[in-house]
Chain A
Amino acid sequence: GESVGLHLPTLSVQEGDNSIINCAYSNSASDYFIWYKQESGKGPQFIIDIRSNMDKRQGQRVTVLLNKTVKHLSLQIAATQPGDSAVYFCAEPQGGSEKLVFGKGTKLTVNP
């Protein structure tokens, strides 16, 4: 079946370091992937997305890498700041449908 999952449920980094959050997906036909950030007590917030015809996409301090060979997605955050502390979710369309499937999330903690 289709699934979107994460390798690590928690990640702790020092302020200023780079963070890498990973996501594995099982549907090789997925053509669109999204990363969301959810701060404590708030709704998820869109960070960045990537189409399957791309290997890499950069935003402000964030980069998403897509490796279709091993069905792996990663979110890189440069110079991690305390405000980056949150739960990060990857998501993909469910089997060509109109619905998104969300992973269970990775909790990122940034230590000062």
Chain B
Amino acid sequence: NAGVTQTPKFRVLKTGQSMTLLCAQDMNHEYMYWYRQDPGMGLRLIHYSVGEGTTAKGEVPDGYNVSRLKKQNFLLGLESAAPSQTSVYFCASSYLILYEQYFGPGTRLTVT
């Protein structure tokens, strides 16, 4: 099992550009999450999904959109990137809500 994978690993964007981060899991987990991690801020939840076709807002959803068209994939979109979105983004999945979450390796995004 690959577990949770994220694509890409690194990306540099200019302000105003758009991009999509892809998260994939092969554990048949129902629940998937997108977090951002900034220095001294810990992990903050952006959006999450409790199943295929469903999404919900987390703590810091503004400027991001998500989609869960397939159970194994969870996409995070930035329509118009801003420097404040420079961060490391982590995807996670879990079998049951609030149980052990398995994290991907992260995507380091820089917006200039």
Contacts and interface: CB of A to CB of B under 8 A. Distances in A.
Interface of A: 32, 34, 41-46, 49, 89, 93, 98-100, 102-105
A42 B100 CA distance: 17
A99 B48 contact: yes
Contacts of B50: 98
B69 interface: no
Interface stretch (B12-20, B70-78, B79-87, B101-109): B101-109
Contacts of B101: 44, 46, 100
Contacts of A45: 103
Nearest to A46: B100
Interface string B43-80: 11100101000001011000000000000000000000
The residue in B41, B43, B50, B102 that gathers the most chain A C-beta atoms within 10 A of its C-beta is B43
When A and B form their complex, which 7 residue pairs have the shortest distance between CB atoms, in order from nearest?
A: A43-B103, A102-B43, A104-B42, A46-B100, A102-B42, A44-B103, A98-B97
B2 interface: no
Given A42-B105, A44-B103, A45-B103, A99 B59 contact: yes
Contacts of B97: 98
Given A42-B106, A43-B90, A43-B105, A100 B45 contact: yes
7 contacts: A43-B4, A44-B92, A44-B103, A45-B103, A46-B101, A99-B58, A100-B45
Contact of B48 (A44, A46, A98, A105): A98
A34 B100 contact: yes
Nearest to A32: B98
